[in-house]
């Protein structure tokens, strides 16, 4: 193939993996763009490192582009297909990953910075302080509440507690926390962050952090996924403690669930970060929180309840998925309690109860006669 040969390559969609050798370049009249993942990773890393967007200079420094024109054309291409977006006009122009748009908006709106982002449809300009409260109330009452009943339940911030033999603590080659002598071991399963904390008494606390990716509580598939995840939690600990015969780590049925957050998320406008909504509502013995949360590219209004079940993890999951069965179990407990009270009552108490029952029957008969006369 000579230098004058024109390459006829079929354009690749943004979701496809372009070979790194086909980075942004000009060859004849055909233009090829770098792997979309490199642009996303670079923009996310830059934002989380210094809070800024990427510019043409970042692409050149990162080896994505060779010169300014090439870098600008690459950024323009990914802006047009929605991979990146801008907040305002500036020189040089800064671009942010759409995958973390809500996070970017939250950071800049919290600074009270004037922004005019591309790709945001809800408002052309940010709400001013005069109508923030009105906007908040309208959004919650007119939009969030009507959708809440149909939104799926999720669970996150899950805490477990169980016991192992205390001798394991001394064998762990981990630094002790000065405050409580706990020794921490961290694992990551998918997008979930898990912390195992071991104490001299043999108590083990397990904290599951998955606020941005909570577990859905909808159907049997969701229940199966949750059970599989619990198995993974136990398996990681077995591997860490080299418990080949599984005699140290207790069965998952013996893990107590001490704390968890049950939540529902409703997608809302990114501008609601500006309001800083965080409301706590107490109803009977339940405490609910309402706040705005970044969920990757989207912004959600989260309604959650913090629970402290102090029951077997499997039992809690069963209660969540089978509320009717839980109620029936409660009724059975009440019936059993009443039966025990009846059995232990004195003859005089039993006679009084029979007398009250007879009076109630006579009253019912009188009202029945009145109803017949009226008829």
Asked if residue 299 belongs to a domain, the reply is: yes
Domain of 65? Answer: 20-110
Residue whose token pair is 């591309």: 118
Q: In total, how many domains does the chain have?
A: 2
Asked if residue 279 belongs to a domain, the reply is: yes
Going by their DSSP bridges, the two strands 183-189 and 30-32 should be labelled as unpaired
Measured CA to CA, the distance from residue 141 to residue 118 in angstroms comes to 28
Tokens of 246: 């599984």
Task: Verify that 161 and 282 share a domain, yes or no.
Answer: yes
Asked if residue 75 belongs to a domain, the reply is: yes
Among 77-81, 243-247, 365-369, the range scoring the smallest mean pLDDT is 365-369
146-177: per-residue pLDDT in tens? 888 889 999 999 999 999 999 999 999 999 99
Task: Verify that 159 and 255 share a domain, yes or no.
Answer: yes
Find out whether 319 and 312 touch, Cβ atoms under 8 Å.
Answer: no
As a whole number, the mean pLDDT across the chain is 78
Asked if residue 213 belongs to a domain, the reply is: yes
Tokens of 5: 């040969």
209-240: per-residue pLDDT in tens? 999 999 999 899 999 999 999 999 999 999 99
Task: Verify that 72 and 169 share a domain, yes or no.
Answer: no
Task: Verify that 85 and 214 share a domain, yes or no.
Answer: no
The domain boundary residue, chosen from 110, 136, 169: 110
Task: Verify that 185 and 36 share a domain, yes or no.
Answer: no
Please give the distance of CA 245 from its chain centroid, rounded to a whole number.
Answer: 35
351-370: per-residue pLDDT in tens? 655 665 555 555 444 444 43
Task: Verify that 92 and 226 share a domain, yes or no.
Answer: no
pLDDT at residue 375, rounded to an integer: 41
> What CATH number is given to the structural domain containing 43?
1.10.10
Find out whether 164 and 214 touch, Cβ atoms under 8 Å.
Answer: no
Find out whether 164 and 248 touch, Cβ atoms under 8 Å.
Answer: yes
The predicted model scores a pTM of: 0.64
Among 9-18, 75-84, 263-272, the range scoring the smallest mean pLDDT is 9-18
H or E element in which residue 304 lies: strand 298-307
Asked if residue 310 belongs to a domain, the reply is: yes
Measured CA to CA, the distance from residue 159 to residue 309 in angstroms comes to 10
Task: Verify that 48 and 186 share a domain, yes or no.
Answer: no
């Amino acid at each position: 193939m000579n230098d004058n040969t024109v390459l006829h390559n079929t354009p690749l969609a943004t979701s496809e993996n372009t070979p790194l050798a086909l980075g942004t370049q000009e060859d004849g009249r055909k233009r090829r763009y770098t792997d979309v993942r490199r642009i996303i990773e670079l923009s996310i890393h830059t934002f989380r490192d210094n809070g800024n967007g990427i510019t043409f200079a970042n692409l050149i420094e990162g080896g994505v582009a060779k010169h300014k024109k090439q870098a600008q054309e690459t950024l323009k291409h990914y802006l047009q297909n929605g991979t990146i977006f801008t907040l305002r006009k500036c020189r040089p122009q800064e671009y942010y990953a759409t995958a973390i748009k809500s996070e970017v908006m939250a950071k800049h709106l919290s600074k009270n910075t004037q922004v005019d982002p591309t790709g945001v449809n809800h408002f052309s300009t940010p709400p001013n302080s005069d109508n923030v409260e009105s906007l908040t109330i309208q959004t919650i009452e007119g939009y969030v509440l009507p959708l809440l009943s149909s939104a799926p339940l999720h669970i996150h911030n899950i805490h477990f507690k169980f016991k192992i033999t205390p001798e394991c603590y001394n064998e762990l080659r981990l630094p002790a926390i000065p405050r409580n002598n706990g020794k921490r071991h961290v694992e990551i399963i998918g997008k979930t962050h898990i912390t195992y904390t071991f104490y001299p008494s043999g108590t083990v606390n397990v904290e599951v952090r998955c606020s941005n990716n909570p577990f859905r509580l909808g159907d049997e598939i969701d229940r199966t996924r949750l059970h599989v995840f619990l198995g993974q939690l136990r398996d990681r600990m077995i591997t860490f403690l080299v418990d080949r015969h599984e005699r140290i780590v207790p069965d998952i049925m013996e893990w107590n669930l001490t704390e968890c957050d049950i939540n529902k998320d409703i997608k809302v406008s990114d501008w609601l970060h500006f309001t800083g909504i965080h409301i706590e509502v107490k109803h009977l013995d339940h405490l609910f929180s309402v706040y705005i949360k970044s969920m990757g590219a989207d912004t959600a209004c989260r309604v959650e309840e913090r629970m402290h079940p102090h029951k077997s993890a499997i039992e809690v999951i069963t209660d969540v998925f089978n509320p009717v069965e839980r109620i029936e179990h409660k009724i059975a407990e009440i019936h059993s309690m009443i039966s025990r009270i009846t059995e232990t009552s004195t003859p005089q108490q039993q006679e009084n109860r029979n007398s009250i029952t007879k009076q109630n029957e006579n009253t019912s008969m009188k009202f029945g006669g009145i109803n017949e006369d009226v008829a």
